[in-house]
Amino acid sequence: MKKTFTKLRVRYSETDQMGVVYYGNYAQYLEQGRTDWLRSLGFSYKFMEDNLVILPVVNLNIDYKYPAKYDDVIKITTILKRTPSVKIEFYYEIHNQENKLLVTATTTLVFVDSVTRKLMKAPDYLLEKLKNL
C-alpha cells in the first residue's frame, strides 16, 4: 500500500530531563507522518474538514525500542495497512540518522461526519486515489 517518508530534526523542547525525546512527543511525530501521507495523495486534513470529514484517533500503539535524542534527524515511515472503510489504519517506523530503528507504531482513525458526528465510510475521493496506486 501507499508508503511515505517524513524527516524531522528533534528540537530541544521535545526532550526530557534525561536528554531523550519525551515519550508523549512520538504521537505528534506519527501525526506528522499521517499528514504527509495524506498530502502525498493531494489532500490535507483541512481539505477533509472543509468537506465535513474529521478523523479522530481511536487507537494508538507504540513500541519504544531505542530513544531519539536532541538534534537527531529522524525518518518517519508511514504505511497504509489496508484499504480504508469506516476506519483507516497505519503502521509506522521511526529511524534515526544512523538508520537505527527507534519506534514501531500503529494508529487507527475513524471517518466521522463533522455535522452529525456519526461514523461514515471513507470518502470516495480518497478511495479513488488509492485505487490508482
Query: Which residues carry out catalysis?
Result: 16
The closest of 36, 90, 99, 89 to 65, measured between CA atoms, is 99
CA 83 from chain centre, in angstroms, equals 16
Residue that has been written with the C-alpha cell 480504508 in this structure: 84
Q: What does the alpha-carbon distance between residue 46 and residue 52 come to, in Å, rounded to a whole number?
A: 10
